[in-house]
Amino acid sequence: MSVVIDESLQKAPLTATPAELKRMLQIIREEIFPVTVQGVADGNKVFGAAILDKDFVTTCVETNRETTCPLFHGEVHAIYQWSKIVEPSQRGPLAQSANFLATHEPCCMCVSSILWSGFQKVFYFFPYSVTTAQGIPHDVRTMHELWGVPTYRKQNRYLSTACIMDLIEELPEGSEKEELLKLQKELSADYDRLSNKYHTEKVDNKDNSLVLA
């Protein structure tokens, strides 16, 4: 049985202004990264997420907490905490107008959770290639092992995703792009150091019994 995909139902590709891109990088650096530092100290991975309203104002920030529950990747944990502060009757409408921000491209579980929660616009900083280079290849491997594909469809009838690095690269040359590239480089270095810390300490952390560590 073949599945017919109606391309006309796909969400449009995501775009962001230089100001919006700068805002998201600042949220990662000033709001997500600090809680992730503590999360890594407790034996968790380096993945964090934030839920922003339509104006890119932060509603909820969380990080990976797999030592609390194996399902608590940064994105799932953020959705869980967000659902506790948003009335059930408002979750659908607010999710549909919100911007979901992840530090790393969501894995198959996380992108599915984002979809089921109603979020339609998903931005992430690091693509799968960088996540793999940081020593965590499971995002790509699980996608291949479960469904035999290298990735999900970036634009589909439910949501659109976009890599912040790609959006910065697509900007015209000028001072705005230079500033964003500088922020990008600084953040990348911060996360490289934090990733090294996680991998160095996870073996000796008694609470880190993760199968996919």
Query: What was the pLDDT predicted at 21?
Result: 98
Confidence of residue 133 (pLDDT cuts 50, 70, 90): confident
Which pair of tokens denotes residue 60? Answer: 């909820």
- 189 versus 2: the higher-pLDDT residue is 189
Where is average pLDDT lowest: 71-75, 191-195, 201-205?
201-205
As a whole number, mean pLDDT of residues 171-188 equals 98
DSSP class of residue 45? Answer: -
Checking DSSP bridges between strand 48-52 and strand 58-63, what pairing results, if any?
antiparallel
List the alpha helices (DSSP H) in the chain: 18-27, 33-41, 74-85, 88-97, 108-117, 128-133, 138-147, 164-169, 175-201
pLDDT digits (tens, 9 = 90+) for 8-57: 668 889 999 999 999 999 999 999 999 999 999 999 999 999 999 999 99
Q: At what angle do helices 33-41 and 175-201 cross, to 10 degrees?
A: 10
Could you give the percent of the chain with pLDDT greater than 90? 82
Q: In whole angstroms, what is the distance from residue 26 CA to residue 24 CA?
A: 5
Query: What was the pLDDT predicted at 94?
Result: 97
pLDDT digits (tens, 9 = 90+) for 163-179: 999 999 999 999 999 99
pLDDT digits (tens, 9 = 90+) for 45-93: 999 999 999 999 999 999 999 999 999 999 999 999 999 999 999 999 9
pLDDT above 60 (res 2): no
Q: Dihedral, CA atoms, 195, 141, 107, 21, nearest 10 degrees?
A: 60
Where is average pLDDT lowest: 100-104, 153-157, 204-208?
204-208
Tell me if 131 sits within 8 A of 104, measured CB to CB: yes
pLDDT above 50 (res 3): no
As a whole number, mean pLDDT of residues 102-123 equals 97
Distances (CA, A) of 176 to 124, 182, 187: 19, 10, 17
* CATH topology for the 10-188 domain: Cytidine Deaminase; domain 2 (3.40.140)
What 3-state DSSP class applies to 78? helix
Domain ranges of the chain: 10-188
Could you give the percent of the chain with pLDDT greater than 70? 93
Burial class (CB in 10 A: 0-12, 13-18, 19+), 87: exposed
